Amino acid sequence: MATSDTPIRILPNELLSSILSSLSTKDLLSVVTVSHLFCSLATRILHRRLVSAASLPDNQAILECYHPSAKISTPYLACRYLGTAVCDGHAIDDQNPRFEHLRKLYSCFRPVVMEENRRARFRYGWSSQTLAGSSQLQIAAEDEVADEAAHQEVYLDEGERFSQLCTVTNVVTQGSRPGLFTRHINVSDGVIRVFRDWLASMLERPSSSLRSGVSSSSSSNPVAVTAATLANSAGFTSDDSRVLWVDSTKDVGLRFRVLPGPEVRGTIFEDEPPVFYNLIYEELIVRTSTLLLAVEEAADEDVSHSGKDIIIAAM
Protein backbone atom coordinates (compact mmCIF):
# COMPACT_ATOMS: atom_id res chain seq x y z
CA MET A 1 0.00 0.00 0.00
CA ALA A 2 1.16 3.56 -0.71
CA THR A 3 2.25 5.40 2.47
CA SER A 4 1.10 8.88 3.45
CA ASP A 5 4.44 10.51 2.60
CA THR A 6 4.79 9.16 -0.93
CA PRO A 7 4.99 11.87 -3.60
CA ILE A 8 2.11 10.36 -5.53
CA ARG A 9 -0.33 11.19 -2.74
CA ILE A 10 0.28 14.91 -3.08
CA LEU A 11 -0.72 14.90 -6.75
CA PRO A 12 -4.16 16.38 -7.51
CA ASN A 13 -6.91 13.82 -7.98
CA GLU A 14 -7.62 15.23 -11.43
CA LEU A 15 -4.06 14.48 -12.54
CA LEU A 16 -4.11 10.97 -11.06
CA SER A 17 -7.44 10.30 -12.71
CA SER A 18 -6.07 11.46 -16.06
CA ILE A 19 -3.08 9.12 -15.71
CA LEU A 20 -5.21 6.14 -14.71
CA SER A 21 -7.65 6.81 -17.56
CA SER A 22 -4.90 6.02 -20.05
CA LEU A 23 -4.71 2.43 -18.77
CA SER A 24 -6.71 -0.40 -20.27
CA THR A 25 -9.42 -1.98 -18.15
CA LYS A 26 -7.28 -5.04 -17.41
CA ASP A 27 -4.38 -2.84 -16.28
CA LEU A 28 -6.71 -0.60 -14.31
CA LEU A 29 -8.00 -3.56 -12.33
CA SER A 30 -4.48 -4.33 -11.17
CA VAL A 31 -4.04 -0.92 -9.47
CA VAL A 32 -7.24 -1.11 -7.43
CA THR A 33 -5.39 -2.73 -4.51
CA VAL A 34 -2.61 -0.11 -4.40
CA SER A 35 -4.46 2.24 -2.06
CA HIS A 36 -7.91 3.48 -1.13
CA LEU A 37 -7.34 6.55 -3.28
CA PHE A 38 -6.41 4.47 -6.31
CA CYS A 39 -9.40 2.20 -5.69
CA SER A 40 -11.78 5.16 -5.55
CA LEU A 41 -10.42 6.79 -8.71
CA ALA A 42 -10.21 3.52 -10.64
CA THR A 43 -13.77 2.60 -9.64
CA ARG A 44 -15.12 5.89 -11.01
CA ILE A 45 -13.24 5.37 -14.28
CA LEU A 46 -14.46 1.79 -14.59
CA HIS A 47 -18.03 2.84 -13.87
CA ARG A 48 -17.92 5.46 -16.62
CA ARG A 49 -16.53 2.88 -19.04
CA LEU A 50 -19.23 0.37 -18.13
CA VAL A 51 -21.99 2.92 -18.69
CA SER A 52 -20.45 3.87 -22.04
CA ALA A 53 -19.92 0.27 -23.21
CA ALA A 54 -23.29 -1.07 -22.01
CA SER A 55 -25.10 -0.24 -25.26
CA LEU A 56 -22.19 -1.23 -27.56
CA PRO A 57 -22.33 2.12 -29.43
CA ASP A 58 -19.73 1.15 -32.05
CA ASN A 59 -20.37 -2.57 -32.08
CA GLN A 60 -23.22 -5.06 -32.14
CA ALA A 61 -24.12 -8.16 -30.14
CA ILE A 62 -25.28 -11.20 -32.08
CA LEU A 63 -26.67 -14.46 -30.73
CA GLU A 64 -26.56 -17.97 -32.09
CA CYS A 65 -28.86 -20.41 -30.28
CA TYR A 66 -29.65 -23.79 -31.79
CA HIS A 67 -30.11 -27.47 -31.15
CA PRO A 68 -26.90 -29.37 -32.09
CA SER A 69 -28.76 -30.99 -35.00
CA ALA A 70 -29.75 -27.59 -36.45
CA LYS A 71 -26.41 -25.77 -36.32
CA ILE A 72 -26.05 -25.29 -40.08
CA SER A 73 -29.63 -24.21 -40.78
CA THR A 74 -30.09 -21.76 -37.90
CA PRO A 75 -29.28 -18.10 -38.68
CA TYR A 76 -27.89 -15.79 -36.02
CA LEU A 77 -30.03 -13.15 -34.32
CA ALA A 78 -29.41 -9.44 -33.97
CA CYS A 79 -29.61 -8.05 -30.42
CA ARG A 80 -31.30 -4.70 -29.78
CA TYR A 81 -30.14 -2.83 -26.69
CA LEU A 82 -32.84 -2.41 -24.03
CA GLY A 83 -30.96 -0.97 -21.07
CA THR A 84 -29.14 -2.14 -17.97
CA ALA A 85 -30.23 -4.08 -14.90
CA VAL A 86 -28.59 -4.80 -11.56
CA CYS A 87 -28.36 -8.37 -10.32
CA ASP A 88 -28.55 -9.18 -6.60
CA GLY A 89 -28.50 -5.62 -5.36
CA HIS A 90 -29.78 -2.08 -5.59
CA ALA A 91 -29.03 0.43 -8.32
CA ILE A 92 -25.41 1.56 -8.45
CA ASP A 93 -24.77 5.05 -7.07
CA ASP A 94 -23.54 7.07 -10.05
CA GLN A 95 -21.95 9.69 -7.82
CA ASN A 96 -20.14 7.29 -5.51
CA PRO A 97 -19.96 3.80 -7.06
CA ARG A 98 -18.43 0.95 -5.09
CA PHE A 99 -15.96 -1.38 -6.76
CA GLU A 100 -17.64 -4.59 -5.58
CA HIS A 101 -20.94 -3.48 -7.14
CA LEU A 102 -19.61 -3.02 -10.67
CA ARG A 103 -19.88 -6.72 -11.54
CA LYS A 104 -23.58 -6.64 -10.72
CA LEU A 105 -24.36 -4.49 -13.75
CA TYR A 106 -25.83 -6.33 -16.75
CA SER A 107 -26.69 -5.19 -20.27
CA CYS A 108 -30.02 -6.38 -21.64
CA PHE A 109 -30.72 -7.01 -25.32
CA ARG A 110 -33.72 -8.22 -27.32
CA PRO A 111 -32.79 -10.96 -29.84
CA VAL A 112 -34.67 -10.34 -33.09
CA VAL A 113 -34.70 -11.74 -36.60
CA MET A 114 -32.15 -10.12 -38.89
CA GLU A 115 -33.60 -7.85 -41.57
CA GLU A 116 -32.13 -9.87 -44.43
CA ASN A 117 -33.73 -13.02 -43.01
CA ARG A 118 -37.11 -11.31 -42.82
CA ARG A 119 -36.84 -10.29 -46.45
CA ALA A 120 -35.95 -13.84 -47.41
CA ARG A 121 -38.92 -15.07 -45.35
CA PHE A 122 -37.03 -17.91 -43.71
CA ARG A 123 -39.43 -20.29 -42.01
CA TYR A 124 -38.12 -23.37 -40.27
CA GLY A 125 -40.75 -25.83 -39.09
CA TRP A 126 -41.30 -29.31 -37.83
CA SER A 127 -41.66 -32.27 -40.16
CA SER A 128 -42.93 -35.79 -39.59
CA GLN A 129 -39.32 -36.96 -39.64
CA THR A 130 -38.32 -34.77 -36.66
CA LEU A 131 -35.93 -36.68 -34.43
CA ALA A 132 -36.57 -37.07 -30.74
CA GLY A 133 -35.19 -34.24 -28.71
CA SER A 134 -34.46 -31.96 -31.65
CA SER A 135 -35.25 -28.27 -31.73
CA GLN A 136 -35.56 -25.86 -34.60
CA LEU A 137 -35.57 -22.09 -34.81
CA GLN A 138 -38.92 -20.68 -35.84
CA ILE A 139 -38.90 -17.36 -37.62
CA ALA A 140 -42.25 -15.71 -38.18
CA ALA A 141 -41.19 -12.85 -40.39
CA GLU A 142 -43.52 -10.37 -42.00
CA ASP A 143 -42.51 -7.34 -44.03
CA GLU A 144 -44.76 -4.98 -42.06
CA VAL A 145 -43.14 -5.85 -38.70
CA ALA A 146 -40.08 -3.76 -37.84
CA ASP A 147 -38.62 -6.12 -35.23
CA GLU A 148 -39.98 -9.66 -35.12
CA ALA A 149 -39.35 -11.92 -32.17
CA ALA A 150 -37.54 -15.16 -32.93
CA HIS A 151 -39.02 -18.48 -31.83
CA GLN A 152 -37.27 -21.63 -30.69
CA GLU A 153 -39.45 -24.72 -30.66
CA VAL A 154 -38.43 -27.50 -28.30
CA TYR A 155 -39.66 -31.07 -28.61
CA LEU A 156 -39.32 -33.59 -25.80
CA ASP A 157 -39.98 -37.24 -26.56
CA GLU A 158 -41.74 -39.56 -24.14
CA GLY A 159 -39.73 -39.81 -20.92
CA GLU A 160 -37.17 -37.24 -22.07
CA ARG A 161 -36.31 -34.80 -19.29
CA PHE A 162 -34.61 -31.98 -21.19
CA SER A 163 -33.42 -30.63 -24.53
CA GLN A 164 -30.09 -28.89 -25.14
CA LEU A 165 -29.46 -25.60 -26.91
CA CYS A 166 -25.99 -24.48 -27.98
CA THR A 167 -25.61 -20.78 -27.25
CA VAL A 168 -22.91 -18.53 -28.71
CA THR A 169 -22.70 -14.78 -28.06
CA ASN A 170 -20.37 -12.53 -30.04
CA VAL A 171 -19.53 -8.84 -30.20
CA VAL A 172 -18.99 -7.77 -33.81
CA THR A 173 -18.22 -4.63 -35.79
CA GLN A 174 -20.41 -4.16 -38.84
CA GLY A 175 -18.61 -4.38 -42.16
CA SER A 176 -19.37 -2.91 -45.56
CA ARG A 177 -22.76 -4.60 -45.82
CA PRO A 178 -25.13 -6.70 -43.67
CA GLY A 179 -23.69 -10.08 -42.74
CA LEU A 180 -20.07 -8.88 -43.05
CA PHE A 181 -18.08 -8.07 -39.93
CA THR A 182 -14.65 -6.50 -39.64
CA ARG A 183 -14.16 -7.62 -36.04
CA HIS A 184 -15.50 -10.63 -34.19
CA ILE A 185 -14.99 -11.24 -30.46
CA ASN A 186 -16.50 -14.26 -28.74
CA VAL A 187 -18.16 -13.44 -25.42
CA SER A 188 -19.53 -16.86 -24.50
CA ASP A 189 -19.92 -20.33 -25.96
CA GLY A 190 -21.92 -22.79 -23.91
CA VAL A 191 -24.93 -25.08 -23.67
CA ILE A 192 -28.17 -24.56 -21.80
CA ARG A 193 -30.48 -27.37 -20.79
CA VAL A 194 -34.19 -26.71 -21.09
CA PHE A 195 -35.86 -29.07 -18.63
CA ARG A 196 -39.38 -30.45 -18.92
CA ASP A 197 -40.30 -29.29 -15.40
CA TRP A 198 -39.02 -25.76 -16.08
CA LEU A 199 -41.02 -25.52 -19.31
CA ALA A 200 -44.18 -26.65 -17.56
CA SER A 201 -43.71 -24.24 -14.66
CA MET A 202 -43.08 -21.27 -16.95
CA LEU A 203 -46.14 -22.13 -19.02
CA GLU A 204 -48.37 -22.51 -15.96
CA ARG A 205 -47.19 -19.30 -14.31
CA PRO A 206 -50.12 -16.89 -13.72
CA SER A 207 -50.48 -13.95 -16.08
CA SER A 208 -48.29 -10.98 -15.21
CA SER A 209 -46.83 -7.90 -16.81
CA LEU A 210 -44.10 -10.01 -18.34
CA ARG A 211 -46.71 -12.11 -20.13
CA SER A 212 -49.29 -9.49 -21.02
CA GLY A 213 -50.67 -9.72 -24.50
CA VAL A 214 -49.42 -13.28 -24.97
CA SER A 215 -51.46 -15.54 -27.17
CA SER A 216 -51.28 -19.32 -27.28
CA SER A 217 -51.95 -19.35 -31.00
CA SER A 218 -49.92 -21.35 -33.45
CA SER A 219 -46.24 -20.43 -33.69
CA SER A 220 -46.67 -19.87 -37.42
CA ASN A 221 -48.21 -16.48 -36.61
CA PRO A 222 -46.04 -13.46 -35.77
CA VAL A 223 -45.54 -12.88 -32.05
CA ALA A 224 -45.11 -9.31 -30.91
CA VAL A 225 -42.44 -8.49 -28.36
CA THR A 226 -43.53 -7.33 -24.92
CA ALA A 227 -42.65 -4.01 -23.34
CA ALA A 228 -41.83 -5.39 -19.87
CA THR A 229 -38.15 -6.29 -19.49
CA LEU A 230 -35.59 -6.81 -16.76
CA ALA A 231 -34.04 -3.53 -17.92
CA ASN A 232 -37.28 -1.74 -16.99
CA SER A 233 -37.57 -3.44 -13.62
CA ALA A 234 -35.81 -2.62 -10.38
CA GLY A 235 -33.42 -5.53 -10.93
CA PHE A 236 -33.33 -9.28 -10.69
CA THR A 237 -31.66 -12.06 -8.74
CA SER A 238 -29.11 -14.57 -9.98
CA ASP A 239 -31.47 -17.42 -9.09
CA ASP A 240 -34.39 -15.91 -11.02
CA SER A 241 -36.22 -18.88 -12.53
CA ARG A 242 -37.02 -16.89 -15.67
CA VAL A 243 -33.33 -16.73 -16.63
CA LEU A 244 -31.40 -19.68 -18.07
CA TRP A 245 -27.68 -19.10 -17.57
CA VAL A 246 -25.23 -20.15 -20.26
CA ASP A 247 -22.18 -20.43 -18.00
CA SER A 248 -21.42 -21.27 -14.38
CA THR A 249 -20.13 -17.73 -13.72
CA LYS A 250 -23.50 -16.32 -14.83
CA ASP A 251 -21.99 -13.86 -17.28
CA VAL A 252 -24.56 -14.59 -19.99
CA GLY A 253 -28.19 -15.62 -19.64
CA LEU A 254 -31.36 -15.91 -21.71
CA ARG A 255 -34.95 -15.15 -20.77
CA PHE A 256 -37.74 -16.81 -22.73
CA ARG A 257 -41.49 -16.62 -22.87
CA VAL A 258 -42.95 -20.14 -23.00
CA LEU A 259 -46.00 -20.90 -25.14
CA PRO A 260 -47.56 -24.26 -25.94
CA GLY A 261 -46.50 -25.76 -29.25
CA PRO A 262 -48.43 -28.11 -31.53
CA GLU A 263 -50.27 -30.88 -29.74
CA VAL A 264 -48.58 -34.27 -29.72
CA ARG A 265 -50.55 -37.49 -29.58
CA GLY A 266 -49.89 -39.61 -26.53
CA THR A 267 -51.64 -41.95 -24.15
CA ILE A 268 -53.30 -40.72 -20.99
CA PHE A 269 -51.28 -43.25 -18.99
CA GLU A 270 -47.90 -41.68 -19.77
CA ASP A 271 -46.25 -39.84 -16.86
CA GLU A 272 -44.00 -37.87 -19.21
CA PRO A 273 -45.68 -37.79 -22.64
CA PRO A 274 -44.07 -36.21 -25.72
CA VAL A 275 -44.55 -32.42 -25.72
CA PHE A 276 -43.88 -29.35 -27.86
CA TYR A 277 -43.10 -25.92 -26.46
CA ASN A 278 -42.51 -22.66 -28.25
CA LEU A 279 -39.81 -20.48 -26.68
CA ILE A 280 -39.92 -16.79 -27.58
CA TYR A 281 -36.69 -14.87 -27.07
CA GLU A 282 -37.34 -12.05 -24.61
CA GLU A 283 -33.89 -10.97 -23.44
CA LEU A 284 -30.21 -11.72 -23.75
CA ILE A 285 -28.50 -10.70 -20.50
CA VAL A 286 -24.74 -10.10 -20.52
CA ARG A 287 -22.54 -8.93 -17.65
CA THR A 288 -21.49 -5.43 -18.71
CA SER A 289 -17.90 -5.87 -17.51
CA THR A 290 -17.61 -8.84 -19.89
CA LEU A 291 -18.86 -6.65 -22.74
CA LEU A 292 -16.38 -3.92 -21.83
CA LEU A 293 -13.45 -6.32 -22.09
CA ALA A 294 -14.78 -7.58 -25.44
CA VAL A 295 -15.12 -4.02 -26.76
CA GLU A 296 -11.55 -3.18 -25.78
CA GLU A 297 -10.29 -6.40 -27.33
CA ALA A 298 -12.09 -5.53 -30.57
CA ALA A 299 -10.54 -2.05 -30.55
CA ASP A 300 -7.06 -3.51 -30.04
CA GLU A 301 -7.27 -5.91 -32.98
CA ASP A 302 -4.78 -5.40 -35.77
CA VAL A 303 -6.02 -2.76 -38.23
CA SER A 304 -4.64 -4.91 -41.02
CA HIS A 305 -7.84 -6.95 -40.78
CA SER A 306 -9.95 -3.95 -41.78
CA GLY A 307 -10.00 -5.05 -45.39
CA LYS A 308 -10.90 -8.64 -44.62
CA ASP A 309 -14.53 -8.88 -43.61
CA ILE A 310 -15.80 -11.94 -41.78
CA ILE A 311 -18.92 -13.55 -43.19
CA ILE A 312 -21.35 -15.16 -40.73
CA ALA A 313 -24.37 -16.63 -42.48
CA ALA A 314 -26.53 -19.73 -42.44
CA MET A 315 -25.95 -22.24 -45.21
State pLDDT tens for residues 140-192. Answer: 444 444 667 788 989 998 888 999 999 999 999 887 777 778 888 999 999 99
pLDDT of residue 93: 86
Whether the predicted pLDDT of 50 surpasses 90: yes
Whether the predicted pLDDT of 137 surpasses 70: no
Q: Are 12 and 75 found together in one domain?
A: no
pLDDT of residue 94: 86
- Measured CA to CA, the distance from residue 291 to residue 53 in angstroms comes to 7
- Measured CA to CA, the distance from residue 183 to residue 173 in angstroms comes to 5
Smallest CA-to-CA distance from 43 within 106, 107, 92 is with 92
Asked if 112 and 151 touch (Cβ cutoff 8 Å), the reply is no
Q: Are 196 and 252 found together in one domain?
A: yes
pLDDT of residue 136: 52
Asked if 142 and 148 touch (Cβ cutoff 8 Å), the reply is yes
Q: Are 279 and 146 found together in one domain?
A: yes
Q: Are 244 and 197 found together in one domain?
A: yes
Q: Are 102 and 243 found together in one domain?
A: yes
pLDDT of residue 176: 76
pLDDT of residue 131: 45
Tally the domains of the chain: 2
Q: In percent, how much of the chain has pLDDT > 90?
A: 42
- Measured CA to CA, the distance from residue 237 to residue 224 in angstroms comes to 26
Q: In percent, how much of the chain has pLDDT > 70?
A: 72
Smallest CA-to-CA distance from 111 within 160, 51, 67, 60 is with 60
Q: Over the chain, what is the mean pLDDT?
A: 79
Q: Are 240 and 126 found together in one domain?
A: yes
Q: Among the residues of 9-166, which ranges form H helices?
A: 13-21, 25-30, 36-53, 115-120
Q: Are 26 and 169 found together in one domain?
A: no
What average pLDDT does the segment 191-210 reach? 77
What average pLDDT does the segment 43-48 reach? 95
More reliable by pLDDT, 3 or 102: 102
pLDDT of residue 64: 94
Confidence of residue 4 (pLDDT cuts 50, 70, 90): low
Q: Give the pTM.
A: 0.79
Query: How does pLDDT run across 54-79, given as a tens digit for each residue?
Result: 999 889 999 999 999 988 888 899 99
- Measured CA to CA, the distance from residue 84 to residue 237 in angstroms comes to 14
Asked if 59 and 298 touch (Cβ cutoff 8 Å), the reply is yes
Q: Are 20 and 137 found together in one domain?
A: no
- Measured CA to CA, the distance from residue 87 to residue 101 in angstroms comes to 9
The residue range of the domain holding 29 is 7-49
Q: Is residue 255 part of a domain?
A: yes
pLDDT of residue 315: 47
Whether the predicted pLDDT of 303 surpasses 90: no
Whether the predicted pLDDT of 284 surpasses 70: yes
Q: Is residue 87 part of a domain?
A: yes
Query: Terminal CA-to-CA distance of the chain, rounded, Å?
Result: 57
Q: Are 132 and 260 found together in one domain?
A: yes
Confidence of residue 116 (pLDDT cuts 50, 70, 90): low
- Measured CA to CA, the distance from residue 80 to residue 245 in angstroms comes to 19
Cα-based distances in Å from 110 to 101, 214, 254, 275, 305: 24, 17, 10, 27, 29
Confidence of residue 202 (pLDDT cuts 50, 70, 90): very high
pLDDT of residue 87: 93
Q: Is residue 1 part of a domain?
A: no
